Structure 1
């Protein structure tokens, strides 16, 4: 008669994923350093990256972000980690950011030297630097205040994945869609320009907070993840305040960019 293993299972709530764990599933034993090494090693092996799937994720981050995080659950079942092991999304996002920043700089009328400096600032400071900082803060808060007792830690790589997922819709709205209206509408003063501009910013921040909430609520070891949505009422009040004061956030951003590359 066949004997079945009776090894104990980890003592934390089951994932909400409808996908069953395969028979050969084992909890991850690889350290964070090993995972990071494997991830960085694949960063320059473009033939091993699934860019088609990364593009699919970008589309669904706009229309149905819940589907993107279902794939993270599937990866946990099959590869014993929530974080991406394929850097295709990061590479594709970096290329998209580079191209959108070049278009943005040309729209601002920057010189070629200013354009180069602008792109370096956007990629290495606004994206990579700020991304590492924000991911580390969310990772610390999640493990320190939201993690259930006796549950495994949240992976830092997963926190970074949540950040870049949440970063893509604001990037598209502020660097692409908004710039299409810049010459005809946003460059002018007046209430309509302020309303459209600040509405873009409101939608961008709401997207970021909502996708961050989805990402952390997807983890079975966390609780009270609704705190990521708590800033929304204050955000809406701030939005109304900018309209009442006539503060055009896009104009302020343009002035900041010009000041930074001078």
Structure 2
């Protein structure tokens, strides 16, 4: 029988008018980063110990109300002395989702069996895991170096930085690797302004999701200041979006060409 963790369900959250509850009375961290990492990696192979139901709930709410997901991180800090997840169920589900969506993406591009296998390996291990490790490390370093309230405040956990990244990646992956495929052969594969508009709007929504969820993740931490800097790219992003439309630069076509070039 599957064992579920004690993570709160959606009905357990306190009512609040603010986007995220004010953190207070956190338990001090007792385990080292190495111990936390060991426990997390060990649980990657203990599927009966993972709370897949709650991980699926988090995925849904990352689309409709990402603030609620980060309230659970505050709850975990109160009860387990860490912000980062100790249950790899979300990572496992996201990896499965990425694998399936990548296969669908490869079929839509008309790749052969060998090219599909190579494409999936690239997407999972380079685009997702590799870039995720780099981005998490960069944001972890920047937040600890420049955005902490003071040097005496606790460090941002690298595991939490990674959690924020994979949270922020789920909506873009779903939009670009799954929902966009439904329109690929009917609309996006053809040229014209409508194809460019729909394609680039998918990309704009994906980047907005990533930036906003990243902002929520770091603004949730009590040791952080000026987390609004994560929102600064939004005006530039909107201007870039308008520029791609005026130039008829279809970003999805560019992605398809890049993927074809990489597996050929």
TM-score, normalised with respect to structure 2: 0.91
- Equivalent-residue separation in structure 2 for 1:259 and 1:234 (angstroms): 29
- Equivalent-residue separation in structure 1 for 2:79 and 2:91 (angstroms): 21
Contact 1:139 1:154 in 2 (8 A): yes
Q: Map 1:1-262; keep pairs closer than 5 Å.
A: 17=21, 21=25, 26-149=27-150, 150-262=152-264
Which runs of structure 1 show a deviation greater than 6 angstroms over 4 or more consecutive aligned residues? none
- Equivalent-residue separation in structure 2 for 1:152 and 1:87 (angstroms): 24
Contact 2:147 2:225 in 1 (8 A): yes
**Unaligned segments of structure 1, at least 5 residues:** 1-15
- Equivalent-residue separation in structure 2 for 1:41 and 1:208 (angstroms): 29
- Equivalent-residue separation in structure 2 for 1:17 and 1:224 (angstroms): 17
CA RMSD of aligned residues (A): 1.1
Task: Provide the secondary structure at the position in 2 that maps to 1:164.
Answer: helix
Task: Provide the secondary structure at the position in 1 that maps to 2:86.
Answer: coil
- Equivalent-residue separation in structure 1 for 2:85 and 2:208 (angstroms): 24
- Higher relative contact order, chain-length normalized (CA < 8 Å, sep 6+): 1
TM-score, normalised with respect to structure 1: 0.91
- Equivalent-residue separation in structure 2 for 1:177 and 1:247 (angstroms): 20
- CA deviations 1:111-161 (Å, max 9, x no partner) are 000000000000000000000000000000000000011100000000000
Task: Provide the secondary structure at the position in 1 that maps to 2:63.
Answer: helix
Structure 1 residues 18 and 152 mapped into 2: Cα distance closer, same or farther (>3 Å)?
A: closer
**Unaligned segments of structure 2, at least 5 residues:** 1-19
